[in-house]
């Protein structure tokens, strides 16, 4: 259920993908980081409840929309009823699968007017991201454990604009606080970091990007004192 301030009409492939990424991030948080809160809210004694992910990367457990037909496709109804009738992990996996289906339905609701190539590009961008189910399932955790020792190559700047080593791990950049590095997303494609990939940080918005997504190579980064991502560059252009 969206607030009146939430844009409900993404017009481009990039807009729809950004909407998908935000909703997906919110649901992933509900089923992983905030799982205790999510579990307690899904009381089987309550009415039919749905799990909503919002473009702002937040989540909400609430009743379905009252209007018929709803403004957007609705998530699976009554996820709370099965909570105590299954093993917790099995129930979370079931909610994850239904959430993946809902995320796809919302994206293609927005993308129904796209042409064939635009729909193909949208699906390709979505398919490059892990599903919610992969985050919740044992397969995703096993994969994360296997990759935990890999290094992500990152262009990190000091306060004077100089580049540090571009082979620092994400742990080196963020430290170990609450495993924040595990939730680091590329500001362009929304993908999580992988080992052996070059990343670069924007000095304006402080978001991180795959070098390939913003067309910056390690060699090119060496000559950049202050990096501005495409979004920050476009904002500056609009202000002129």
One domain, residues 154 and 198: yes
Report if residue 208 sits inside a domain.
yes
**For residue 183, what pLDDT is reported?**
61
The pair of structure tokens assigned to 138 is: 């044992």
DSSP state letters, 171-202: HHHHTTGGGGGGG-B-TTT-PBP-TT-EEEE-
Q: What percent of the chain has pLDDT over 70?
A: 73
Residues 87 and 153 in one domain: no
* Whether residues 101 and 197 fall in one domain: no
How many domains are there within the chain?
2
pLDDT reported for residue 12: 93
**Picking from 5-14, 32-41, 72-81, 184-193, which range would have the lowest pLDDT averaged per residue?**
5-14
Do 166 and 109 lie in one domain? The reply is: no
**Backbone angles phi and psi of 72, in degrees to 5:** -130, 160
Give the 3-state secondary structure percentages of the chain, helix then strand then coil, rounded to 5. 45, 10, 45
- What is the maximum alpha-carbon separation in the chain? 61
Residue 4 lies in a domain: no
Indicate whether 126 and 158 sit together in one domain: no
- Position 46 in a domain: yes
- pLDDT confidence of 189, banded at 50, 70, 90? confident
Do 31 and 83 share a structural domain? yes
- Whether 155 and 131 share a structural domain: no
Domain that holds residue 191: 148-239
165 confidence band (pLDDT: 50, 70, 90): very low
């Amino acid at each position: 259920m969206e607030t009146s301030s939430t844009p409900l009409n993404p017009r481009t492939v990039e807009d729809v993908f950004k909407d998908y990424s935000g909703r997906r991030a919110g649901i992933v948080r509900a089923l992983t980081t905030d799982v205790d809160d999510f579990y307690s809210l899904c009381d089987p004694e309550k009415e039919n409840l749905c799990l909503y992910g919002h473009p702002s990367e937040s989540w909400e457990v609430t009743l379905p929309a009252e209007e018929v037909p709803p403004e957007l496709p609705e998530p699976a109804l009554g996820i709370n009823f099965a909570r105590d009738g299954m093993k917790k992990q099995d129930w979370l996996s079931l909610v994850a699968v239904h959430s993946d289906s809902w995320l796809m339905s919302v994206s293609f609701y927005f993308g129904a007017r796209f042409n064939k190539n635009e729909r193909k590009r949208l699906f390709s961008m979505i398919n490059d991201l892990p599903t919610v189910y992969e985050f919740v399932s044992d397969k995703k955790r096993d994969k994360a454990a296997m990759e935990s020792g890999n290094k992500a190559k990152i262009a990190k700047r000091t306060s004077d604009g100089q580049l540090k080593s571009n082979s620092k791990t994400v742990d080196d950049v963020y430290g170990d606080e609450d495993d924040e590095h595990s939730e680091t997303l590329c500001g362009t494609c929304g993908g999580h970091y992988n080992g052996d990939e070059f990343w670069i940080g924007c000095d304006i918005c402080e978001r991180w990007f795959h070098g390939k997504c913003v067309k910056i190579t390690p060699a090119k980064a060496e000559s950049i004192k202050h990096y501005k991502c495409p979004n920050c560059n476009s904002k500056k252009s609009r202000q002129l």
